Amino acid sequence: MAEKKTFYITTPIYYPSGNPHIGHCYSTLACDAIARMKRMQGYDVMFSTGTDEHGQKIEKKAIEMGVTPKAYVDDIVANFKKLWATLGIKYDRYVRTTDDYHIKTVQNMFEKLYKDGYIYKSEYKGKYCTPCESFWTESQLVDGKCPDCGREVTEASEEAYFFKLSEFGPKLKELLLDPEKNFLEPKSRVNEMINNFIEPGLQDLCVSRTSVKWGIPVTFDEGHYVYVWMDALTNYISLLGFMNDTYNDYEKYWPADMHVMAKEIVRFHSLIWPAFLMALGEPLPKKIYGHGWITFDGGKMSKSKGNVIDPFVLCERYGVDALRYHLLREMVFGSDCPYSNEQMFARINSDLANDLGNLVSRTTAMVIKYFDGTLPEEKEFTEADNDLLEQLDVLPDFVSETFETMRFSEGLAKIFSVIARANKYIDENEPWKLAKDDTAKPRLAAVLYNLLDAIRRVAILLEPVMPHTSPKIFEQIGADESNTTWEASKARHALAAAVTVTKGEVLFPRIDIDKEIDELNKMFPAAEEEKGKDLEPLKPLTKFDNFAALDLRAVKVLSCEKVEKSDKLLKFKVDDGFGERQVLSGIAKYYKPEELVGKTLAMIVNLEPRKMMGLESNGMILSVKYGDGYRVVEFDDSVLPGSDIS
Ligand code: MSP
């Protein structure tokens, strides 16, 4: 028996430095839709996603929160996985860069590249912020100062390993310009890579650090940790078992058919990644696809008025498939795509409720009304059917071609133009008139059969994008497994001749747009002037007892100083009315310590003690979000320390 053809598609591995938002959804949804289509087309698919868990940013966040980096990322990874489950993402493998097998691969690969002379030891020079223990490049500095704490930086250097990226310029240029390969899509990015990076001369790439310790140790040089891209990009082969014993799929799936990502990391995938693979002597991926960004209010994500973009909320209120459809329909490959709830509602109403939903409900209702739900075998097909049938015949290849080149918007627009054609076919053939004439029954049966079969064919093509909706449609129109395969979308009249339909639920209820925007505003209130600020959504209701369990008091600040080696933490001595206590608060960026001495603040005094940066904190000082920072909640001098807040 011939072996199944394989297909390997990847999303970027996301940084778990914050919870996933709707921007993260696009690459993953696109890959999921392609993977689903390829499975339907009979491919043996490997669809991978995961998280990129090492690095300075995560190390710092964890320190701020007083937890280990691993505990910190575990929580966020759980949220990523929850989002993918909610969105119906059917990945085959989830790689975490903290997984043992991945660590093995990176270490083995680093050793090999070192032995083969592609990695060498030298000095990393940069701007160093001593309190933050961080190196920065010139372009990362803000007004010449540390972007994290705003303090002066100094020239510094540390021992580090480098990868000889500079040697690969000519080969990479050849790869990018190879007309057979079309390695990088969209093509506009090819020139960008060549003109901005290859032509000016590629710099060798720093691949280890000693100052960032949350990383994979270099096996042969203690104190060195593999740095960022060598760790991250390697995920695409570690998860197949390259240089590790956990998996054995490398021969089967590599090279990847498609690496999908947004534009800001195309450079790493189209220059650095192939260079690593060339140095290893391994095959290169077949295609890199760099799509645009989902933007919000012109770039910045905003949870302000009516613009809620929490994907969990959207899925719950409007349905997973509506969101999947909207995002894939809206983004034109290669361009950015502004997100708006209003536009999504309009799309749901016009495409999903009006065109698709109505076509299904009208057609099944007529089969029930005129034939008690089961069509007779005898039918009279005529030339008037040809246009619809011909449009359906060319659809599968077009959809396949557009989807697998990330042109979902084109493919979906075409499917919906055929759905519109089917709706027009109803009006042209006026079944309600045919129903009045007994001799016209065979023609009426043919018209309704053509419609059911058209619905079957478009629903198959929509299944990769709307995997929860198509099965419901199949059930309503009496389709079964034999006539809902991808191949069956190419066949005319594959439904049983005496097909039986059932009345099902409304697939996509219409949305009252104004009312819905109002609802969202009530759920996520934001004053007009708050527009653009990142308000947290309201939490669910809780019992009064939960509030009563907290002991809130006014406290007087006796002393305040910065915590060494932390750019966030301040250490306080406060008088809580009963005595002195030490408390830490992450507001160092917003206050000079001396500003706070003598102030009377609000504090939760009965939280269990917690250690941060080796110091114990006994309670929590309350602050309120203010612009991009925080202000402490404070009382005037007349309020006595220890006074109860309720
Ligand atoms: N960890 C690296 C990638 C390593 S891959 C070997 C990284 N992570 S990230 O969390 O910042 O994710 C970047 C990716 O998230 C983008 O390339 C894109 O796939 C997705 N998106 C995040 N926000 C996005 C939008 N607003 N719009 C579209 N996609 C974006 O970079």
The alpha carbon of 616 and the centre of ligand 1 are apart by a number of angstroms equal to 36
pLDDT score at 298: 56
CA of 423 to the centre of ligand 1 (A): 40
Provide the 10 A C-beta neighbour count for residue 306. Answer: 15
Q: What is the pLDDT of residue 249?
A: 98
Q: How many angstroms is it from 262 CA to the middle of ligand 1?
A: 6
| CA nearest to 221, candidates 234, 208, 233 | 208
What span, in angstroms and rounded, lies between the C-alpha atoms of 406 and 411?
9
Ligand 1: residue whose CA is nearest its atom 17: 262
Domain membership flag for residue 565: yes
Nearest CA-CA partner of 419 in 390, 458, 386: 458
CATH of the domain at 439: 1.10.730.10
How many structural domains compose the chain? Answer: 2
pLDDT of 425 reads 98
Predicted local confidence at residue 523, as pLDDT = 72
533 found inside a domain: no
CA of 15 to the centre of ligand 1 (A): 8
Do 478 and 555 belong together in one domain? no
Q: For ligand 1, atom 5, which residue shows the shortest CA distance?
A: 12
Residue 233 lies in a domain: no
Tell me the CA–centroid distance for residue 31 and ligand 1, in Å.
13
Strand segments (E) across 130-262: 134-136, 154-163, 184-185, 205-206, 208-209, 216-217, 225-226, 258-262
* pLDDT for 529: 38
Q: Please tell me whether residues 565 and 448 are part of one structural domain.
A: no
pLDDT less than 70: residues of the chain: 1-2, 297-308, 524-535, 537, 627-628
Q: Do 381 and 475 belong together in one domain?
A: yes
> In the numeric block, which tokens belong to residue 324?
């999947």
Same domain (yes/no): 568, 446: no
Query: Which atom of ligand 1 sits closest to the CA of residue 290?
Result: 17
Residue 304 lies in a domain: no
The reply to whether 468 and 365 lie within a common domain is yes
**Residue 627 belongs to what domain range?**
544-635
The pLDDT of residue 181 is: 95
630: domain CATH number is 2.40.50.140
- Residue 364 CA: distances (Å) to CA of 29, 429, 476, 506: 31, 16, 7, 12
577 lies in the same domain as 475: no
In a domain, 628, yes or no: yes
Q: Is residue 475 part of a domain?
A: yes
Which residue's alpha carbon is at the smallest distance from atom 19 of ligand 1?
261
The residue whose C-alpha atom lies closest to atom 12 belonging to ligand 1 is: 14
Question: Which residue, by CA, sits nearest to atom 13 of ligand 1?
Answer: 14
Domain end (from 449, 469, 490): 490
Residue-level pLDDT at 37: 98
For residue 158, tell me if it sits in a domain. Answer: no
Question: Of 456, 471, 490, which closes a domain?
Answer: 490
Q: What pLDDT score does 306 carry?
A: 52
pTM of the predicted structure, to 2 decimals: 0.81
Are residues 480 and 566 located together in one domain of the fold?
A: no
Q: Is residue 7 part of a domain?
A: no
**364, 457: one domain:** yes
Ligand 1 binding pocket mutation candidate from 19, 48, 293 (most atoms within 8 A of CB): 293
pLDDT computed for residue 525 by the predictor:
62
Distance (angstroms) between ligand 1 centre and the Cα of 435 equals 56
pLDDT of residue 305: 41
What pLDDT, in 10s, does the model give residues 11-61? 999 999 887 888 899 999 999 999 999 999 999 999 999 999 999 889 888
458 and 555 co-located in one domain: no
